[in-house]
Structure 1
Amino acid sequence: MNAAPITTSLREIDDLPSPRGLPLLGNLHQLPPATHHLTLERWAAELGTPYAFRFGTTPVTVWNDIELSHAVMRERPHRYRRYAPIENILKEFGCNGLFSIEGAAWEPQRRLVMQALSIPHIKAFYPTLAAITERLRRRWEAAAREARVVDMTDDLKRFTVDVTSALAFGEDPNTLENERVLIQEQLAMLLPMLMARVNAPFAYWHYVKFPRDRKFDEALIDVHRHIRELMARARARMREEAAAEACATPLGETPHAPRNLLEAMLALRDAPDSGITDDEVAANVLTMLVAGEETTATSIAWALLFLGSDDALQTRVATSARRVLEGSTVCPSYGAMRELDLCEAVCTEASRLHPVAPYLSFEPLEEVRLQGVRLPAGTKMFMLNRPAMMDPNNYADPGHYDPDRWLHDHRHESASQRGAHEPRAYLQFGAGPRVCPGRHLAAVEMRLVVSMLTANFTARLATNPADIREVCTFTAVPSEMPMRLALR
C-alpha cells in the first residue's frame, strides 16, 4: 500500500504569529522609536520567526535566519530592494545617495564610491588619517590635564566627520579643534529624523510642521548650502589645475585623475551626456557625511563600554598598542596599523553584543516564497541581526564579551579548541553586492583610535555601565559614554 503524499500548505502573511495590536494602529503603540528594536527581538523570542506585526494596517514580516539574510542580500538589487520608506524620505532630505538608491542608478555610483574608499586610496590617505587622530589625542590630552569628563560619542563623531570630509571631499572642517561647528550639529539631526518619519503612521509633515520639523528643515537648508559650496570650491580647483596642467602636460599625456570622491563625481557629472545631475552629486556627498560619521563612531563608542570597565583588558590592549606604536603617540604607518588586530577586535566584539544595525530591512520586487510563506511584491521584511550573533551554534558562550574570538590565531584553532565561530552571522557591514563600501576605512579608524587611546591614556567610565542603554536613532547608539581620561 502506497503512503499518501505529504503536502505542505503555503502560508500567507496573515497565517504568521503576531503580537496583539489595536484596530487601525496595529502595533504602533507598542513600538517607541528609541527602543523598538528591543521589542522586535523580544517578540522574536516569544513568537518565533517568521512573525508579523503591523505599522498601522501595513504588515511587516520579521525574520532571524542568517542563511536567509545572506540569500536576500545576494539577490539585491535585482530581486530585493531596501525598505521603500527609507528611500522616499531620504529623497525628501536630498540624501538619496548610494546607501538608499535603487535600480540602474546604483551601479555607477557604487563604482565611484568604491574607488574613493579602496585600500590603495586609503593607504595613500593614511598620513592625513594619522594627523586627524593626533588632533583627537591633543583634544583628549587637554581634557585629561583639566580633569574634565569627556563625552566620547560626541568626540568620536567629530573625528569621523573630519576623516570623511578630508578623504571624500578634500576639505577638512576640523570639528575637533573648532568647538562649535554648525555642520556637526546639523548632521546629528538627520538620522533621528529619518527614524521618526520612517516610523510615522502617515506623512504628517506634508500637512503640518511641528517645531522639531521646522528646526530640521532650517538645518537641512544650511547643510545643502554647505554641500553646494563644497562642490563649487572643488570645481574651481579642478578648473585651475586643468588650466595649469594644460600648459605643463606634454602632448598626448593625460592630466591627473580625480583625487577624491567629490572630484570624481563632478568629473563624471560634467562629462557630455552624463545623465547625472548636481542634485545626485549633492545627495551622495550628504550620504557619505552621515554614514561616515555615525556608524564607525558608534562602533568605537560601544567598545569603550568594555574597555572602560575592565582594567585587565585595557592594560592588555595598551601593551599591544604601545609595542606597535614604538613611542609614537599615533600609529606611525599604514604597515604598522595592520598589526593592531586586537584594537579592531574589541570594536567588532562590542558590536556583536550591541549591533550598530540591529536589523536590515528589505522588500521583494516580485512575489517570493520563503520558508513556506508567500510574500507579495512590496512586502516589508525586517531581518534581525542580534539573535544570530547570540546563538551558541554560531558563537561559543555568546553572552560573554571575548575579543579573542576575532583574532587570526584564535579563528584558525580547531573547532573543538575554540568552540563555535561563524563569521557569516556577523552582518554589521551587510553582505552581497551591496556590502558596505566603507568597511576597510572603518577598520582603519577603529585601529587608530583604540590604539591611540590605550597607548596614551587610561580611560574609566564616569557612570555606572548598567545605566548605559541602547537608543535606536536609525543606528543603535549608546545613551551616553562619559569617560575620565588620565595620561599614562
Structure 2
Amino acid sequence: MHAAPVTPSLREVDDLPSPRGLPLLGNLHQLPPATHHLTLERWAAELGTPYVFRFGTTRVTVWDDIELSHTVLRERPYRYRRYAPIERILKEFGCNGLFSIEGDAWESQRRLVMQALSIPHIKAFYPTLAAITERLRRRWEAAARAGAVVDMLDDLKRFTVDVTSALALGDDPNTLEDERELIQEQLAMLLPTLMARVNSPFAWWHYVKLPRDRQFDAAMIDVHRHIRALMARTRARMREEARAEACEMPFMDLDVEPRNLLEAMLALRDVPGSGITDDEVAANVLTMLVAGEETTATSIAWALLFLGADEALQERVAAHARTVLGDAAVCPGYTAMRTLDLCEALCMEASRLHPVAPYLSLEPIEDVRLRGVRLPAGTKIFLLHRPAMLDPHNFADPERYDPDRWLHEHRLQQRAPADCPAQRGAHEPHAYLQFGAGPRVCPGRHLAAVEMRLVISMLTANFTARLATDASRIQEICAFTVGPSAMPMRLTLRAT
C-alpha cells in the first residue's frame, strides 16, 4: 500500500511569525514614519516572509516573493485593491483619481490617461519637453556662475511639475522661473500628509486640527482653486475653438480632437449622461500633478547620488551625451533621445538600490489563499520590492551600483558560453517592480524614461556635478514614496 500524500495544513494570519509588540499599539511604536520601510525589510530578514505585524489592532501581512507579487498585481482591480484607507483619505483631499480609484470607474479613466501619456502623444509633445529642459539648464547655469549650492531635488520637482502640467493639462505653471508660483510647494505637502494619515490608528484630524493640518488644508484649498480655474479656462477655450471651427465649416458635423488629458476629460464629462462630475475631473488633475512630480524627480535625484560621487562614470556619461547632443545644450529630437540608454540606465539602477516605491499596499476583495495562508477579504498585504532586487539570483553582485546591467549590449554578454564565466551574471527585469505590473502598471513609465534621458544628458553634457555633502549623510526618507533626505550639489560649467 502507498501512503496517502500529505496535504500541507492551511495557515491562518495569526499563525505567521510576528515581531513582539504592545497591547493596543501593536507594532506602531516600532515604525517611525520616515524610516518604517527599513524596519519592515529588517523584520523580513529576521523573521522570514510572510510575517504579520499590527498597526494598533489592524493586522498587516508582509511578503517578499516576487512571483506572488506578479500574481497579485495581475489580478487587480477585481480580486485585489489598493489598501482601502488610501482611497478614503484621498477622497478627503479631493484627489481620488486613477491612482486610487477602484472598480468599474477605473477602466474608463485609465483609457483617458493612457491616451494622454501614449508614445505618439509624448513624441508630439517633445519640443515642449525640450523647452522645459532648457529652462532647467538655464536655472542651473545661473547657479553654477554664482557658485551656489543647488537643491537638486527641489529643482527636479519643479521640472516634473512643469512637464506634467503642460503635457496632461495644457497649462505650464513655469515653477522653474517663477519663484512666486507656489503650486509645487503646495503639492509637496500631499504625500507626507497621506502617509501620516494612512498609518494612523484613528482619524484624529477629524476632531483636532494641528498647525500642520491647518496649513495643509489651506494649501489644498489653493490647489483646488487653481485646478478649477484651469478647468474653466480650458472649457472656455474649447467652446471658442468649436465656435470658430463651426463658422469656417458650417455644414460639417465637427468633432474636435482633444489635445491633452484635461480636454479629453472635460469633453467626456460634458456629454449628457456621462455620469462623470467636475469633482472627478479635478481629482484626476490633482492625481496627475502629484504622481508626475514625485516619482520621476526622486528617481533622477537618486541617480545623482552615484553620479556625483564617481568622476569616471560622470565623464563617461558626459561623452555619451555629447555624442548624441552634438553642439546642442539639450537633446534636439525625439529620435536622438531614444539612443540615450545609458542616461535612463543610471536612474533605473539607482532605484533598484533605493526603490522609490519600497512596497505596495493591497488587500483582497474576497477570501484568498496565498502560499498556504488563508487571507480573509480585507486583510492588509504589503509586497516588499527591495529584497528581490538585492537577491543574487535576480541580479549579479546585487549590492554594486552598475548601470551597465540595464544596457542591451551588456545583457548580450551575460549569455556568453560556459567557458567565459566572467561575462555571465543574473539579470532578471521581472524582479524590478518600480512601475508596478499587471493591468495597473504605471501609465507614465514612458514619460518618466524620456524625462530621465533628457535631464541626465543635459546635466552631464553641460556641467560637472559634485555632491556638496558627504554621501553617507544622505538618508532614505519615506513620505509615501522614498526619496533622499537631501541632494545638494555644486555645478561647474563644462568648457565648450
TM-score (norm 2): 0.97
Between the aligned partners of 2:370 and 2:339, the Cα distance in structure 1 is 43
Q: Residues 215-249 of structure 1, C-alpha deviation per residue, up to 9 Å, x if partnerless? A: 11111111100000010000010011000000113
Report the equivalent of 2:481: 475
Contact 1:410 1:418 in 2 (8 A): no
Q: Residues 118-159 of structure 1, C-alpha deviation per residue, up to 9 Å, x if partnerless? A: 000000000000000000000000000000000000000000
- TM-superposed CA distance for 1:5, in Å, is 3.2
Contact 1:245 1:255 in 2 (8 A): no
Report the equivalent of 1:373: 373
Q: Residues 146-193 of structure 1, C-alpha deviation per residue, up to 9 Å, x if partnerless? A: 000000000000000000010011110000001232111110100000
Report the equivalent of 2:398: 398
Between the aligned partners of 2:321 and 2:468, the Cα distance in structure 1 is 23
Q: How does 1:17-36 map to 2 (within 5 A)?
A: 17-36=17-36
Question: Letter of the aligned partner of 1:19 in structure 2?
Answer: P
Between the aligned partners of 2:465 and 2:45, the Cα distance in structure 1 is 36
- TM-superposed CA distance for 1:253, in Å, is 5.5
The alignment partner of 1:256 has SS state of coil
Report the equivalent of 1:486: 492
- TM-superposed CA distance for 1:421, in Å, is 0.4
Q: How does 1:342-357 map to 2 (within 5 A)?
A: 342-357=342-357
* 2:195 maps to 1:189: no
**Identical-pair percentage:** 82
Between the aligned partners of 1:418 and 1:441, the Cα distance in structure 2 is 32
Aligned residues: 488
The alignment partner of 1:60 has SS state of strand
Between the aligned partners of 2:169 and 2:276, the Cα distance in structure 1 is 18
Q: How does 1:194-343 map to 2 (within 5 A)?
A: 194-249=194-249, 251-252=251-252, 254-343=254-343
Between the aligned partners of 2:150 and 2:140, the Cα distance in structure 1 is 8
Q: Residues 348-381 of structure 1, C-alpha deviation per residue, up to 9 Å, x if partnerless? A: 0000000000001110010000110000000000
* 2:37 maps to 1:37: yes
Report the equivalent of 1:114: 114
Contact 1:249 1:255 in 2 (8 A): no
Give the counterpart of 2:435 among 420, 423, 429. Answer: 429
Between the aligned partners of 2:452 and 2:253, the Cα distance in structure 1 is 40
Between the aligned partners of 2:5 and 2:296, the Cα distance in structure 1 is 53
The alignment partner of 1:412 has SS state of helix
Runs of at least 5 residues in structure 2 that lack an aligned partner in the other structure: 417-422
Between the aligned partners of 2:234 and 2:345, the Cα distance in structure 1 is 37
The alignment partner of 1:471 has SS state of strand
Contact 2:414 2:426 in 1 (8 A): no
Question: Letter of the aligned partner of 1:291 in structure 2?
Answer: A
Between the aligned partners of 1:335 and 1:250, the Cα distance in structure 2 is 40
Between the aligned partners of 1:483 and 1:414, the Cα distance in structure 2 is 35
Q: How does 1:388-467 map to 2 (within 5 A)?
A: 388-415=388-415, 417-467=423-473
Aligned-residue RMSD, C-alpha: 0.9
The alignment partner of 1:115 has SS state of helix
* 2:170 maps to 1:170: yes
Q: Residues 266-303 of structure 1, C-alpha deviation per residue, up to 9 Å, x if partnerless? A: 00000011000000000000000000000000000000
Between the aligned partners of 2:118 and 2:440, the Cα distance in structure 1 is 15
Question: Letter of the aligned partner of 1:199 in structure 2?
Answer: N
The alignment partner of 2:489 has SS state of strand
Question: Letter of the aligned partner of 2:256 in structure 1?
Answer: H
- TM-superposed CA distance for 1:255, in Å, is 4.0
Between the aligned partners of 1:74 and 1:169, the Cα distance in structure 2 is 30
Contact 1:366 1:377 in 2 (8 A): yes
Q: Residues 391-421 of structure 1, C-alpha deviation per residue, up to 9 Å, x if partnerless? A: 0000000000000000011123344533100
Report the equivalent of 1:50: 50
Instruction: Name the stretch that deviates more: 205-214 or 244-253.
Output: 244-253
Runs of at least 5 residues in structure 1 that lack an aligned partner in the other structure: none
The alignment partner of 2:81 has SS state of strand
Question: Letter of the aligned partner of 2:449 in structure 1?
Answer: A
Contact 1:152 1:482 in 2 (8 A): yes
Between the aligned partners of 1:423 and 1:141, the Cα distance in structure 2 is 36
Instruction: Name the stretch that deviates more: 284-293 or 245-254.
Output: 245-254
Between the aligned partners of 2:354 and 2:81, the Cα distance in structure 1 is 25
Contact 1:99 1:287 in 2 (8 A): yes
The alignment partner of 2:465 has SS state of strand
Contact 1:144 1:485 in 2 (8 A): yes
Between the aligned partners of 1:430 and 1:315, the Cα distance in structure 2 is 32
Q: Residues 412-436 of structure 1, C-alpha deviation per residue, up to 9 Å, x if partnerless? A: 3344533100001000000000000
Contact 2:467 2:488 in 1 (8 A): yes
TM-score (norm 1): 0.99
Contact 2:246 2:254 in 1 (8 A): no
